[in-house]
Amino acid sequence: MSTSLKEEFKLFKFGLGHDNPILFITSQWKCSSSIYLLWRLFWLLWHVGWVVASPVVMVLYQADSPAEGAKWLIYLTHTTLLLTAITSTLDFLTVFYLSYTRRGRATLSSWNHEKSVTGPPLKEDIIFQGEFTVLSGLEPCTTPWYVKLTWFLYGVIGSSNILVTIMYWAVVFDGNVEAVDVIINSVNSFFIISNGLVTAMPVRILHFLYPVLYGAAYFIFTYIYYAAGGTNILNRDIIYSALDWNHAYPTVLGVVIGVLVCAPIAHLGLFALYTFRIFLFSKIHSGNFKLSSELDSHQHIAGSSRQPTTLEINLELGGVEHKGKATQETKSETGL
């Protein structure tokens, strides 16, 4: 199900609650939980492997002494890689816990429990199918803290990885090809894009705030590091040539543009990717609607009438089947 674009700008969308946590542990494309778990495991091993390999390469081939290896963490590429590895690890553990442990399966079962919805009718937009008034369906679930944390981290690393790739190839790259740098500054964006197409995890526009805060925190750190006399791996008082606090005005201008303009734009790009994924899914796996009661067969000689139709809905979303009932006003027309 999707909400209108206007709904994306409501204040609660800044938050991390979601009434269907199953979307965070499944693929959009109906693959088995085992295959999806292998997808998560592959990226966990990939990112953790490079978190281990990258500082080792720096110490062996770039640093003057092993102690200089601690400077690995001052680079945005590396902090983002580390954060991506943490995110991949948490994502894998969440999927494994909910799919393959007894307590996790019990939690998952409670999310799948169907219960009649009480109170006012719920309005929902079923993807590209029009508005329905939902009479009964899945009870909204409370999002566990570990699912919220995973969603938050993906919100941070998504556009951050895209911008790291752009910054490396547009600003940092000087023509000298280092295999490790090329890999961790290219495959990172491939991971974000491919994962955005595979997972059923939603993207909210207002979550652009998370990469903005991450970027602001990093650039504040670079200034404090510079003011404290810190140096890069080459013992220069700058971390990146484009981030030279010895020339404050162009640096501050670049930081403001990067944090307040580029980060939100990159996040909007990921929201567009999410929208495209939902659109593609709706075309390939459209919802299956069954009439549970026929339309009133009375016909009018001229004119038209609107009559409620009760539908039983079997809708697959993110590889998860949703069942419920809905009513839709259907217009019937006859004429002489």
| 116-130 per-position pLDDT tens digit | 333 444 444 433 333
CA-CA distance, 236 to 253, in Å (whole number)?
A: 22
Residue 314 located in a structural domain: no
Burial of residue 14 (CB within 10 Å: 0-12, 13-18, 19+) is middle
Domain tally for the chain? 1
Any domain includes 335: no
Q: How many residues does this entry show for the chain?
A: 336
Query: How far, in whole angstroms, is CA 325 from its chain's centroid?
Result: 29
pLDDT at 103: 78
Show the tokens assigned to 106: 């019990």
- Please give the pLDDT value at position 97: 92
What letter would DSSP give residue 262? Answer: I
- SS3 label, residue 83: helix
DSSP classification of residue 167 = H
For residues 160 and 80, the answer to whether their CB atoms sit within 8 Å is yes
User: For residues 123 and 331, what is the distance between their CA atoms, to the nearest angstrom?
Assistant: 19
Tell me, yes or no, whether 336 lies in a domain. Answer: no
Confidence (pTM): 0.78
Q: How far apart are alpha carbons 324 and 315 in whole angstroms?
A: 9
User: In this structure, what DSSP letter does residue 260 have?
Assistant: I
Among 96-110, 182-196, 275-289, name the most confident range. Answer: 182-196
In a domain, 113, yes or no: no
> Of the candidates 321, 256, 326, 253, which has an alpha carbon nearest to the alpha carbon of residue 290?
326
Contact, 134 vs 117, CB < 8 A? yes
Instruction: Please report the sign of the dihedral spanned by the C-alpha atoms of residue 178, residue 184, residue 190, residue 194.
Output: positive
- Tell me what pLDDT residue 150 has: 97
177-189 burial code (b ≥16 CB/10 A, e <16): eeeebeebbebbb
CA–CA distance, 71 with 81 (Å, rounded to integer):
14
Whole domain around residue 168: which residue ranges?
19-106+141-192+201-292
Any domain includes 119 = no
DSSP β-bridge partners for residue 332: 305
Reply yes or no on whether the pLDDT at 268 is more than 70.
Answer: yes
Is the model's pLDDT at 278 over the cut of 50? yes
Q: Alpha helices, DSSP H only, in the chain?
A: 33-61, 76-100, 102-112, 145-167, 179-184, 187-198, 209-227, 248-257, 263-284
**Phi, psi dihedral angles at 83 (to 5 degrees):** -65, -35
Whether residue 309 lies inside any domain: the answer is no
For residue 114, tell me if it sits in a domain.
no
pLDDT tens figures, 287-296: 443 333 333 3
Q: Answer for the pair 183, 50: CB distance below 8 angstroms, yes or no.
A: yes
Is residue 305 a part of any domain in this protein? no
Amino acid making up residue 293: S
What DSSP assignment string belongs to 60-80?
HHT-SSGGGGGGGGGSHHHHH
Query: What's the average model confidence in pLDDT over 321-326?
Result: 48
Distance CA 21, CA 275 (A): 18
Given this model, what pLDDT does residue 66 score? 80
Cα dihedral sign, 7-8-13-19: positive
Q: What is the pLDDT of residues 210-246, one digit of tens each?
A: 999 999 999 999 999 999 999 998 889 999 988 999 9
